[in-house]
Amino acid sequence: MNVLVLNAGSATLKFQVVVTDADRIATDHDEKLIRGQIERIGGESVITLRLPDGSSRKRTAALRDLRAAVDWLVGFVTSTDSGTGLTARADLHAVGHRVVHGGEQFRNSVLVDEAVLRGIEENVELAPLHNPHNLRGIEAARAALGDGVPQVAVFDTAFHQTLPEHAYLYAIPYPLYRRHKVRRYGFHGTSHRSIAYRFRKLTGRARADVRIVTLHLGNGCSACAILGGESIDTSMGFTPLEGLVMGTRAGDIDAALLDYIGAKEGMSLPQVETMLNNQSGLLGISGLTNDMRDLLAEANELHDRRARLAIEMFCYRARKYVGSYLAGMGGADAVVFAGGVGENSPEIRARICEGLEWAGLRIDPAANQALVGGHEGRFSTPDAPLEAWVVPTDEELLIARDTYRVVCAVDAPKT
């Protein structure tokens, strides 16, 4: 089955075409035909393509909205120019959409029908910056491919719907949960699920035997405690703002600060929230950048004090979360790193692991150094009771596989 995977944002559309089916899933031979993104939708859009032969290409096109962008994309990937071998729109058999918020309705990936569209709509108030664009992505794909092509919604929150009540509730008056759905939802679920699945394949474990802490460290960052293959706690909360120090997000703070900062700085509450989302984290502390690569260069080569501090805070917070999840699960078998930082920075990984020797985590520096650029593997010493791994996340692949499974109604999508 040729699956078009779409991740629609406000002005950006990320995409991939994946060939998958039961045999390919079983033998891990899914084929990625093309991927890329369209940016600045609404004006002169910039299209970045990674073609099947591995080459990259940039183009521009005037794409007035998401519908025009999806239409252009479908036209391009089915043209001979794309090198995909697809020659007609009918060669795209299904579409898998990344949808950010599934609220409490969606615990699994689902075939999109009118009821599902209403469900996504109902969760718009929980994710006003994301769900509307995801809905428009679904409408655009319908318009481009017709009603006959099945579409599947894969939710970022779904994997965390297994959190127990004591982990997902905030300790605030209980009626707020009932009346306004105030609770921890967690995000990056498709990523944590993808990492856990790959980890169990690499280590030959059954799903029920997966007891790990996963760290998705990209521009957005989150930690997840996975016990028996299921998410039992995660660091992002009602929104993606909570938890770890991120590129531009503060992560955990004292809620009383919103009012205090607002009063002192003459800012409204929404302005303070924007500051906590967009001007905090690594960027806020360093005053320089949210990009970890640049920050490491500033810290190591130019000895910038605040760059060092930002990195220290990033690593310390991540280590604290690992420690708390080890306590929450009564120990774990591995800490697994992923995301742009987790997959590429041995230095950050080492600094997060430093001080976890008490828990049995001992790293092999040479193995750690070797794991960059998409390589997967273990970097703890062979005798370490708590292992350390790098397992690159592949959300698009999981979305494509879920799409196949849902459309063909083969077993429930599992980690």
**Which listed range, 255-263, 290-298, 303-311, 351-359, lies at the site for ligand ADP (CB under 6 A)?**
290-298
Does residue 292 interact with ligand ADP by CB under 6 A? Answer: yes
- Tell the smallest beta-carbon distance from residue 285 to ligand ADP (Å): 14
CA 413 to chain CA centroid, nearest Å: 18
- Tell the smallest beta-carbon distance from residue 156 to ligand ADP (Å): 12
Does residue 36 interact with ligand ADP by CB under 6 A? Answer: no
- Tell the smallest beta-carbon distance from residue 159 to ligand ADP (Å): 17
- Tell the smallest beta-carbon distance from residue 88 to ligand ADP (Å): 32
Nearer to ligand ADP, 111 or 296 (CB): 296
* Catalytic (active-site) positions: 156
C-alpha distances out from residue 223 to 17, 264, 396, Å = 28, 32, 20
Name which of 48, 67, 35, 62 is nearest 145 in CA terms.
67
Tokens of 20: 């998958």
Name which of 1, 22, 376 is nearest 202 in CA terms.
376
Does residue 375 interact with ligand ADP by CB under 6 A? Answer: no
The mark string for 212-231 relative to ligand ADP (x by CB under 6 A, - otherwise) is: ------xxx-----------
Instruction: Give the separation between CA 409 and CA 152, rounded to whole angstroms.
Output: 12
- Identify the residue among 39, 71, 273, 291 touching ligand ADP (CB under 6 A): 291
Ramachandran area for residue 339 (φ above 0: left; ψ -120 to 50: alpha; else beta)? left
Does residue 339 interact with ligand ADP by CB under 6 A? Answer: yes
C-alpha distances out from residue 279 to 52, 75, 247, 298, Å = 38, 38, 9, 19
- Tell the smallest beta-carbon distance from residue 184 to ligand ADP (Å): 20
- Identify the residue among 180, 293, 375, 414 touching ligand ADP (CB under 6 A): 293
- Tell the smallest beta-carbon distance from residue 187 to ligand ADP (Å): 11
CB 397 within 8 A of CB 194: yes
**Which residues make beta-bridge pairs with 225?**
213, 233
The mark string for 244-273 relative to ligand ADP (x by CB under 6 A, - otherwise) is: ---x--------------------------
**Which listed range, 96-104, 285-293, 349-357, 362-370, lies at the site for ligand ADP (CB under 6 A)?**
285-293
- Identify the residue among 45, 344, 368, 380 touching ligand ADP (CB under 6 A): 344
**Which listed range, 1-9, 54-62, 258-266, 335-343, lies at the site for ligand ADP (CB under 6 A)?**
335-343
Instruction: Give the separation between CA 132 and CA 149, rounded to whole angstroms.
Output: 21
Does residue 277 interact with ligand ADP by CB under 6 A? Answer: no
Instruction: Give the separation between CA 267 and CA 63, rounded to whole angstroms.
Output: 36
Instruction: Give the separation between CA 342 and CA 335, rounded to whole angstroms.
Output: 11
- Tell the smallest beta-carbon distance from residue 236 to ligand ADP (Å): 12
**Which listed range, 43-51, 58-66, 129-137, 287-295, lies at the site for ligand ADP (CB under 6 A)?**
287-295
Instruction: Write out the H or E segment, with its range, that includes residue 198.
Output: helix 189-203
Nearer to ligand ADP, 122 or 312 (CB): 312
- Identify the residue among 4, 341, 352, 397 touching ligand ADP (CB under 6 A): 341
- Identify the residue among 345, 368, 380, 403 touching ligand ADP (CB under 6 A): 345
**Which listed range, 58-66, 96-104, 228-236, 286-294, lies at the site for ligand ADP (CB under 6 A)?**
286-294
In one letter, which amino acid is 151?
Q
Nearer to ligand ADP, 20 or 344 (CB): 344
Alpha helices in 279-329 (DSSP H): 281-286, 292-301, 305-329
- Tell the smallest beta-carbon distance from residue 281 to ligand ADP (Å): 10
Which single residue brings its beta carbon nearest to ligand ADP? Answer: 340
Nearer to ligand ADP, 150 or 247 (CB): 247
Give the contacts of 326 (CB within 8 A, at least 6 positions apart). 213, 332, 359, 386
Give, to the nearest 10 degrees, the angle between helix 305-329 and helix 346-353: 50
Query: What is the size of the binding site for ligand ADP (CB under 6 A)?
Result: 13
Instruction: Give the separation between CA 39 and CA 170, rounded to whole angstroms.
Output: 37
Vertex 195, ends 203 and 198: CA angle to 5°?
40
SS3 28: coil
Name which of 163, 162, 164, 183 is nearest 172 in CA terms.
183
Instruction: Write out the H or E segment, with its range, that includes residue 351.
Output: helix 346-353
Q: Which residues bind ligand ADP (CB under 6 A)?
A: 218-220, 247, 291-293, 296, 339-341, 344-345
